[in-house]
Structure 1
Amino acid sequence: MKKILFIINRKAGTDREKRLEHAIRRYLPASAYEVSITYLAYLGHGADLAREAVKNGIDTVVAVGGDGSINEIAQGLIGSNTAMAILPLGSGNGLARALRIPLDVHKALKLIAAGKQRAIDVGYANEHLFLSNAGVGFDALIADQFRHTKKRGLSGYAKLVLKSFTDYQPAEYTIDIDGKIMTEKAFLLTVANGNQFGYEFKLAPGANVFDGELDICIMPPVRFYHLLPVSLYSLLGNIDQTRFLKHLTGKEITISSNELQYLQVDGDAVPLSGNGKVTLKVLPQAMKVIVND
């Protein structure tokens, strides 16, 4: 009998939790699955629960929440035989969209029941895991500000972008990609494993979590009136074909700058260590994930 553990980020109300648990029992009946449900209680709890699940021989850990919760839970599963499944209940749902995981709960549960697995690549920015992307430019500044605001979702993110854009000064970076060194002044400098930030905004449309490489996305300084076309090209998935983006690929990238202040992984701000330097590496086929056909 397959053992499945659901780890839920408890941001929903009691009624929603009851509906979710009912749906879980419907698609994963006790006759075929040994299902356990638990809830995140503190920062880092997801990684602790995932490591415990690996020790207990759990077949699949289901991360229920957004990209931040998924990242945290994944930290405890890297290199193990326990697969991660995603029930996307966040706002952006970048990794779920990249893997074509249905945003509908019932369809996602059907996928979990089907149980098709595939190993995906993961990335590390210094010691911080990322599944979708990591950045040091304007996106990292917004991630740092976003954690201090109560306004969540796309509207809250957009307001911060508009508020912070005018005062932001793009930095000059030295970028080492597998030994090839270049210097670039950039508004955005993002390294992608998956193909999008979330909300269908694709900065690296061709990025693939199965290809063993990272995609480096360099956006030169832009003006305020460029934000609309940049957003539209990102939604259309062809920004890499425009003058707004330089696209490169590599396996190990080092970014350094005297002006380096912020780092985001999967949309969350994390502490920046390394004296103005970030090293990003890909770890191929590092984690098993329940995927779509």
Structure 2
Amino acid sequence: MKKILFIINRKAGTDREKRLEDAISRHFPPARFDVSITHLAYLGHGADLAREAVKNGVHTVVAVGGDGSINEIAQGLVDSDTALAILPLGSGNGLARALKIPLDVNKALNLIVANKQRAIDVGYANEHLFLSNAGVGFDALIAEQFRHTAKRGLSGYAKLVLKSFTSYQPASYTIDIDGETLREKAFLLTVANGNQFGYEFKLAPAASVFDGQLDLCIMPPVRFYHLLPVSICSLLGNIDKTRFMKHFTGRDITVSSEGLQYLQVDGDAVPLSAGGTVRLRVHPQAIKVVVND
């Protein structure tokens, strides 16, 4: 009998949570599955729960929430035999979209029952794991501001972008990609593992969590009136073919710049220690994940 652990980020409200638990009961009958449900209680709890699940021989840990919750839970599953499954209930749902996991709860649960697994790569930015992307440019500034605002979702994110754009000064970066050095001034400097930034925005449309590589996306300084075409090209998935994006691939990338303060990993901001340097590297086939056909 397969042990399944659902770890829920409790932000959905009691009514929705009750409907979710009823749906889990329908899809995972006790005769076939040993199901447990628990909830995130503190920062880092997801990683602790996942590590405990590995020790207890849990077959699949289901992350119920958004990219931040999924990232936290994934940290405890690296290089283990316990698989990660995703029930996407966040806003951007970057990894779920990259893996073509349905945003509909019942369809996502059917996928978990079907249990088709593949090993995906993860990235590390210094010591911080990322599944979708990590960045040190304008996106890192917005991520830092976003964590202090009550307005969530795409509209809250867009409002911060418009508010902060005119005062943002693109930085100059020294970049080492697998031993080759670049020097670039950039508005955005993002390293992608998957092709999704969230909300169907794609900075690296050809990136894959299965290819053993990271995709470096460099957006040169842009004008305010470029924001609309940049957004449209990102949604259409062809920004890598425009003048708005320089694209490189590699396995080990080091980025240095004076005054680097913040790093974003999967949309969450983390402060950088002194030194202004970030090393980004890929860890191939690090986590087994339940995927779509």
Aligned match of 1:166: 166
Q: Is the 8 A contact 1:188 1:220 kept in 2?
A: yes
Q: CA deviation at 1:31?
A: 1.0
TM-score with structure 2 setting the length: 0.99
User: Structure 2: how far apart are the matches of 1:243 and 1:261?
Assistant: 28
What is the letter of the counterpart of residue 50 of structure 1?
Answer: A
Q: Is the 8 A contact 2:68 2:267 kept in 1?
A: yes
Q: CA deviation at 1:15?
A: 1.1
Q: Deviations over 1:28-80 (max 9, x none)?
A: 11111100000000000000000000000000000000000000000000010
Q: 3-state SS of the aligned residue for 2:41?
A: coil
Residues 1:113 and 2:113 aligned together: yes
User: Structure 2: how far apart are the matches of 1:279 and 1:111?
Assistant: 35
Q: 3-state SS of the aligned residue for 1:168?
A: coil
Summarize the alignment of residues 105-184 of structure 1 with structure 2, pairs less than 5 Å apart. Answer: 105-184=105-184
Q: Is the 8 A contact 1:176 1:253 kept in 2?
A: yes
Q: Is the 8 A contact 1:172 1:259 kept in 2?
A: no
Q: Is the 8 A contact 2:261 2:271 kept in 1?
A: no
Deviant stretches of 4+, over 6 Å: none
Aligned match of 2:81: 81
Q: CA deviation at 1:274?
A: 5.2
Aligned match of 1:250: 250
Q: 3-state SS of the aligned residue for 1:240?
A: helix
Root-mean-square deviation (Å): 0.5
TM-score with structure 1 setting the length: 0.99
User: Structure 2: how far apart are the matches of 1:30 and 1:73?
Assistant: 24
User: Structure 1: how far apart are the matches of 2:4 and 2:173?
Assistant: 45
User: Structure 2: how far apart are the matches of 1:259 and 1:155?
Assistant: 29
Q: CA deviation at 1:196?
A: 1.2
User: Structure 2: how far apart are the matches of 1:43 and 1:216?
Assistant: 29
User: Structure 2: how far apart are the matches of 1:254 and 1:97?
Assistant: 28
Aligned match of 2:280: 280
Q: 3-state SS of the aligned residue for 1:43?
A: coil
Number of aligned residue pairs = 293
Aligned match of 1:59: 59
* Structure 2 spans left out of the alignment, 5+ residues: none
User: Structure 2: how far apart are the matches of 1:276 and 1:239?
Assistant: 28
User: Structure 2: how far apart are the matches of 1:274 and 1:4?
Assistant: 42
Question: Taking every aligned residue pair, what percent have the same amino acid on both sides?
Answer: 83
Aligned match of 1:12: 12
Distance change in 2, residues 1:274/1:207 (3 Å):
farther
Distance change in 2, residues 1:32/1:215 (3 Å):
same
Q: 3-state SS of the aligned residue for 1:58?
A: coil
* Structure 1 spans left out of the alignment, 5+ residues: none
Q: 3-state SS of the aligned residue for 1:157?
A: helix
